[in-house]
Chains A and B, each alone.
Chain A
Amino acid sequence: MNLLKKEFRLCMHPIAPMMLCLSALILVPAYPYAITCFYMTLAIFFTCLSSRENHDAAYTACLPVSRRDMVRSRMGLACILEGVQLLACLGFVFLRPLTGSTENSAGMDANLAVIAEGLIVFGLFNALFFPRWYKDITKVGLPFIIAGAAVFLYITLSIVSTYAVPFVRDVLDTPDPEHLTEKLIFLACAGALYAALTLLSFRLSVRRFEQVDLQL
């Protein structure tokens, strides 16, 4: 808990709360909404970047904590930011009908499936970014480029699927509460995928970080 407090007070980049505000892009009629989640991954990247510049690893390694705890707190911060971002998106999904329509010509409509897509975006990011970063915490750019490329590939496929895949087009890309059961199942599957990818990422990150030499 103390480490998590440290993450929020000393490490979290100030851009993170600003990225939360970008959840409001769900109110825009034509916008690939999953990208709002990408913005939060950018905030996580900046947090890791500024941690490196502020010698966070050296400070934390001197504290009476294990390397496993160090990984857990950083990924815990990421998961909290991701969760808050999804909650903010959910709020705007509920608000969107007040604009008169939930339709979106640039991908998934503003509905529950957008939250599921967000979970997949974050799961992919966690799985690809953290294990690579914890292999060498002095190199934060390349892990982000690789994770970001995967996220954008997924978002592109997601947009294409709203036109090309009948199930996505006719069932998921519809206004709520149409096909609510299918959307909730999609959401549950995305949640499970997020949990599995993040847990796998955590274990791999710990294993790598425990072996790495910290050049302080």
Chain B
Amino acid sequence: MAKNDAPLSVRGLCKKYPAFTLDSVTFDLTPGAITGFIGRNGAGKTTTLNAILSFIKPDGGEVLFSGLSMADHAAEIKQKIGFVSAGMAYYTGKKLKTITDVTRAFYPAWDGAAYQKYMGRFGLDESKTPASLSNGMKIKYALALALSHGAELMLLDEPTSGLDPVSREELIEIFLALKDEGKTILFSTHITSDLDKCADRILFLQKGRLTADSALNDFIGAYRLASCAGGVPEAAAPCVLGTCRTKDGCTALFKQADAERLSLDCRQPDLEEIMVHLEKEGA
């Protein structure tokens, strides 16, 4: 696949603030895949998404959607993308029907049948207002709008934040169904357990820098976690990537090759354990 055939191609994206710098973020999205965009709060995930969507002006870099730049083809690109952000409720006092009526006028490819299908599937009532919806239902409504105008690329900013486990599970099932329909999803979150269930690839952002871009299984498979009741063995200390206190001692994260070389008693960590250990090391 040529680089600029990717649904989204980001090259050297930079944005400087007095207390934070987004530093040359570069990645491509794989078509028809769910890409998890992880990092702790303040790592720059939302800044990256805002820059991708031209909500903020990057200080450098290039963003291409299927080879087209937002600067020259904004209207064309926005017909094909859907942006869903947690906690962002528009026009909370207006009925969903009114918001939908206004929204669909902007999209020539609006599919009324698809809209009705998603509203039914998500259990949404058009006579309600956003103010009367739960956070999960607001996300579902935003998804219904995006999917009804034929969005092929979904940019999701912390869509499961603040939701109960059942609602999160429901949304993950929806994302998997969308993936089956061929949609490409960039799923930004710090709730990594959600990505364990659905992501194909992982982008890991730390303090404004992209430190990992790989398949989920490769990313997880590259690390090992050791439980150390009496502390990290002296011989292994130089290879430790990060440690966390536990009630029995501590856990230490290693590169898989180092763990094998040192013959440590390890297990494969999950995404959250990797992120927490790496973040603690970087803190």
Residue numbers of A with Cβ under 8 A of B are: 2, 5-6, 9-10, 54-56, 58-59, 61-66, 211, 213-216
Are B74 and A55 in touch, CB under 8 angstroms?
no
Name the residue on B nearest A213 (C-beta): B56
Are B75 and A64 in touch, CB under 8 angstroms?
yes
User: Which residues of A have CB within 8 Å of B79?
Assistant: 64
User: Which residues of A have CB within 8 Å of B94?
Assistant: 9-10
Interface presence of B90 (CB below 8 A): yes
Residues B50-100 near A (CB distance < 8 A):
50, 53-57, 74-79, 83, 85, 88-94, 98-99
Quote the shortest CB–CB distance from A89 to chain B (angstroms). 30
Interface presence of B181 (CB below 8 A): no
Max chain B C-beta neighbours (<10 A), residue from A2, A58, A214, A216: A216
Q: Which 5 A-B pairs have the closest CB atoms?
A: A64-B78, A213-B56, A64-B75, A59-B90, A214-B55
* Bound Cα distance from A213 to B57, whole angstroms: 6
Are B107 and A64 in touch, CB under 8 angstroms?
yes
Quote the shortest CB–CB distance from B218 to chain A (angstroms). 33
Q: Could you list some 11 contacts between A and B, CB below 8 A?
A: A5-B102, A5-B105, A9-B102, A54-B90, A54-B93, A55-B88, A62-B53, A62-B83, A64-B106, A214-B55, A214-B56
User: Which residues of A have CB within 8 Å of B77?
Assistant: 64
Are B98 and A10 in touch, CB under 8 angstroms?
yes
Max chain B C-beta neighbours (<10 A), residue from A59, A64, A213: A64
Interface presence of B248 (CB below 8 A): no
* Bound Cα distance from A37 to B91, whole angstroms: 27
Are A63 and B98 in touch, CB under 8 angstroms?
no
User: Which residues of A have CB within 8 Å of B89?
Assistant: 55
Q: Besides the contacts A2-B105, A10-B90, A59-B90, what 13 more A-B pairs have beta carbons closer than 8 Å?
A: A5-B102, A6-B102, A6-B105, A10-B98, A55-B88, A59-B91, A61-B53, A63-B103, A64-B78, A211-B57, A214-B55, A215-B56, A216-B88
Interface presence of B101 (CB below 8 A): yes
* Bound Cα distance from A61 to B92, whole angstroms: 17
Are B55 and A213 in touch, CB under 8 angstroms?
yes
One of B54, B57, B99, B106 near A65 (C-beta < 8 A)? B106
One of B55, B91, B98 near A61 (C-beta < 8 A)? B55
Are B106 and A2 in touch, CB under 8 angstroms?
yes
User: Which residues of B have CB within 8 Å of A9?
Assistant: 94, 98, 101-102
User: Which residues of B have CB within 8 Å of A64?
Assistant: 74-79, 106-107
* Bound Cα distance from A62 to B56, whole angstroms: 13
Name the residue on A nearest B106 (C-beta): A63
Quote the shortest CB–CB distance from B170 to chain A (angstroms). 23
Are A10 and B56 in touch, CB under 8 angstroms?
no
User: Which residues of B have CB within 8 Å of A61?
Assistant: 53-55
One of B90, B98, B101, B105 near A55 (C-beta < 8 A)? B90
Quote the shortest CB–CB distance from B268 to chain A (angstroms). 38
Are B91 and A54 in touch, CB under 8 angstroms?
yes
Are A10 and B91 in touch, CB under 8 angstroms?
yes
User: Which residues of A have CB within 8 Å of B101?
Assistant: 9
Quote the shortest CB–CB distance from A9 to chain B (angstroms). 5
* Bound Cα distance from A88 to B57, whole angstroms: 43
User: Which residues of A have CB within 8 Å of B57?
Assistant: 211, 213
User: Which residues of A have CB within 8 Å of B93?
Assistant: 54
Quote the shortest CB–CB distance from B26 to chain A (angstroms). 21
Are B74 and A66 in touch, CB under 8 angstroms?
yes
Max chain B C-beta neighbours (<10 A), residue from A59, A62, A214: A62
User: Which residues of A have CB within 8 Å of B98?
Assistant: 9-10
User: Which residues of B have CB within 8 Å of A66?
Assistant: 74-75
* Bound Cα distance from A10 to B100, whole angstroms: 11
User: Which residues of A have CB within 8 Å of B56?
Assistant: 213-215
Task: Flag B199-241 by CB within 8 Å of A: 1 or 0 each.
Answer: 0000000000000000000000000000000000000000000
Name the residue on B nearest A211 (C-beta): B57
Quote the shortest CB–CB distance from A137 to chain B (angstroms). 12
* Bound Cα distance from A19 to B74, whole angstroms: 37
Are A58 and B85 in touch, CB under 8 angstroms?
yes
Task: Flag B143-176 by CB within 8 Å of A: 1 or 0 each.
Answer: 0000000000000000000000000000000000
Name the residue on B nearest A61 (C-beta): B55
Name the residue on A nearest B146 (C-beta): A62
Q: Would A216 and B50 be within 8 Å (CB), given that A10-B102, A65-B106 are in contact? A: yes
User: Which residues of A have CB within 8 Å of B91?
Assistant: 10, 54, 56, 59
